[in-house]
Every structure is written in structure tokens, then in C-alpha cells.
Structure 1
Amino acid sequence: MTDDRGYLLDNRRTEAGTRFEAISELFDQWTFRHLEALGAGPGMRCWEVGAGGPSIPAWLGARAGEHGRVLATDIDVSWTRPAAGGAVEVRRHDIVADPPPAETFDLVHARLVLVHLADRDRALRTMVDALRPGGVLLVEDADPALQPLACLDEHGPEQRLANRLRHDFRALLADRGADLAYGRTLPRLLREAGLDGVRADAYFPITSPACGVLEAATIRHVRDELIAAGHATPDEIDRHLDAIAGGRLDITLAPLISAWGRKP
């Protein structure tokens, strides 16, 4: 990272729970579709990296059944813990700093994780190494540089303010070491890591209530940082949150790029 202040959207804030719920509503069905197509099912051994909320580990656990296993890890498992039990083990683990799990897996998945890491190359290597022969890696990450706007239809001052705040928020992310063009590199990186049959696609929510919920929670989460960096005034942030609450903005997100491949 460019500094030592850590992840901008850390899990210790109360807004993190709201963000995880909104991300789950927006992306879980997309993720589940991929996991199911890649063979998530009875008896599988799965590693969910940077799990965040409980929804994906719980779904994988239900699919794996009594003879399967799901290891769900994160540097802070406060929000992941409700998924623990049955096939699901929840464990605190730093994908970059800690030794990898001793076991190998049929399926490894990470969503919206690597884009934020300083040593994302090392994390990717660790996940590839954790696959058994024939195992599948699915990585899903955003590419904010592909679509930088919060409001595609910038028709008034509220939309212009939303787009400026989105730009400034992403400047904060980049300052913490995030790679805002990471998503597009995933197919190449998976091929270079030695995986076969690499494919990728993308999901791009244009507008939904969950987009507004996620935007509001994110802005509240980084409010102090935006003000301290001179990106926004308290009044501008309050006006933006009021516009979201009033349903006057069609908030959109960056594309979520899903890429997968199989270990020979």
C-alpha cells in the first residue's frame, strides 16, 4: 500500500454490516450462479477468502452437506460468524500475512477482496496453491476505472455532486493501495498462474434500492476521511445522503468481473 493506514472500509464500523447486506442483495445471486455452475455441491471442500458477511459461506455450507467442508476466513470475522456450524468453519486469517491452510480445496472463491490488497499477487498465488489438482478458483472483483460514475444520467446538480463524491471516494481507495483497474486483469492473471479453461464475465447493476443503501453506508463510513482530505464539506455530504434517502438518484456501481479457471 502507499501508506500504513490499512483498509479504508474496515469491518469494525457499524456501517460494514449494512454494506455487507447490500452487497449480498446486489451480487449473491450472480455469485451463486457461478458457484453452482462450477460444481459447488455435496462433499466439496471449499475455501471462502475474505468472506465478510455470512451469506456465501452459509450457501456453500448448505450445498456441501454433511460430508463437505467450507472454510470461511477474513481478517475480522465479526460479520462472518453467524455462518459457522455444520460444514462451515469460520477462522480469522490474513490471506497475505498468515500461512495458508494446510489442506487443499476443490473450490476457492474470493469476492471484492483482492482489489483492496497491497500484495494482491501473493494472495492470488496462495489461493491457486490451495487448489487440489482439478480444483477451481473463482475470483470476483470490481473495476471502478471501467465505469467511474455514481449516476450515469448526470442531468442535474445532485447527480453531479454524486459523481464528484464517487470520484473522491475512489481517490481515497487508491491512496490506500487499491487497484481501481484490477478487475479487467483477472483473466490474464489466472492464465499466468497456470489455470486452464479461464473464462470471465461481468455484472453491472444500473440502479436498485440496494445500490442506494450501499452508497449511503459507504459515504457514512468514509465521511470523516472525505472531509479531512478536503474532498467534501459536511453540507455536501448531508445533501448527497438526503438525495439518496429521497430516491432522487439512480445510483449505479462499477462492474463486478467474475473470472474462473481450473488447476491442471
Structure 2
Amino acid sequence: MARSYTDVASVKSEPENQVLASAPEPSAFVGGHPLAGGERSGPLAASADLFTGRAWVLTPSPLTSQRALDRGRELVEVCGGVPLVMPSRVHDEVVALTSHLPHVVASLLAARLLDGPEETPLLAGRGLDDVTRIAGGSSLLWSDILRANAAPVARILGDLQADITGLLAALNDLALPGTAAARRACARSWTCWTGASPAAPGSAAARTVRAAPGRPSRARPGTRRRARARTTPPTACGASRTSRR
């Protein structure tokens, strides 16, 4: 019988819970996850220095003994890895962002290429290769990983969805013809970049921004230029306009 046990699963909370629920000696177990390898698998993908200099996470449970943790560190060092110790929950939340979400996004983008025009392969450069490379991983393996870490991945995907929704609204505004769309895009950019709200309706600043070329503002002479200098938001292309006082 071994004196201590570990594993190399990509998600740590699930195996830890199983050990705590059913293992005869949970104090002898310390979870482990070497952050090595790539999208290729099998004997031909083997490498003698696979773990050299790579992070290897150890996730002791509340019942893990110091002896088991020390042996886990020894194993990592023998393999040339760099041991990192953290709780299973923290590990799963971090890899959801740094590993699992990138794989999901890469896979979705790779799938979108199937619907592209026939000229798509002719214009695919190294940037696209870099972004979609990890989508070549084992679908069976990644199905298991996403099932085991579904909740953290779903939370981060929800945040990404909100980011994409905001970006999509801004792009749709820019795609519409006319100055009204440009003003809406500029106002949104100004709020996003500065945290300031657009000029209040009825204010001198708002009347100045709304004034069309050739249409006089109701602001008193001499105040229109100063109001514009203080309130004009960045243009749709991102450049700021300034006026002399």
C-alpha cells in the first residue's frame, strides 16, 4: 500500500469531495494538477521534460496530513515541476478563467469558420492559428473537464456574454448611417472611458452638443465655445476634439 496518494485531474473539487466521502484514509491524499501538456495526446506526444519548470498545483483538503503534502512536494520536485499550494475551490475558479474559458472560446471560433465563405482558408494567418490551436484537444477529455467545472465556467461565460453584448451594441451604433448614431457612439464611449454621464438635457452643454452645423445655439455669446471645450466627447474614431477658450 502506498503511504500517500495524489491525482493529476484538471478539476480538483470533485475528486476531493469523493475522497472525503469514501476514501478509508483521506489524510493520506493530496490533490494535484500539473499544468503541462498541450492539445496533442498519446505516446507520440510524450516529452522527457514535460514538467520541467511548469507549475504543479497541490490542493490539500482540510484532512490532508502534513506528511502527505510534503510527499506531494517531493514528487513535483523530482519531476522538475514548481509546486504551488492552494485550496481546490480557488484552483477551479482560476483555471476556469485561464484554461477552460479559452478552450471554449477557441472551439466556438473554430466552429464559426465552417460557415465562412470559401475564401476563408486563403486569408487565415498566424493570428487565427494561435487563437484556435487549442481547439484541437480531445473533445471527450474536454467534455469531462467542463462537466466537472461547470459552475465556475458558466459564471465567467456570463461575464463574457455581458462584455460582448456591450461591444455589439456599440458596433451596431457605429454601423448605422447619420450623425445621430455617431453621437450615440461618442456618448457611450465618453461614459465608458471617463465614468462621466452625458450632459443633462436642457443644460447649456447639452444644447451646445446638440446644435447642428449652421444652427445657432441658444447659449449666450462667448459661452458656446467654452461649453464645447469642456463637454465635447471623443469622436467615434477615438480622438478627442478640443477648442481654445
TM over 0.5: no
Pair member with larger Rg: 2
Relative contact order (alpha carbons < 8 A, sep ≥ 6): 1 or 2 greater? 1
TM-score category by the smaller chain?
A: under 0.3
What TM-score do the two structures reach when normalised by structure 2? 0.26
More helix by share: 2
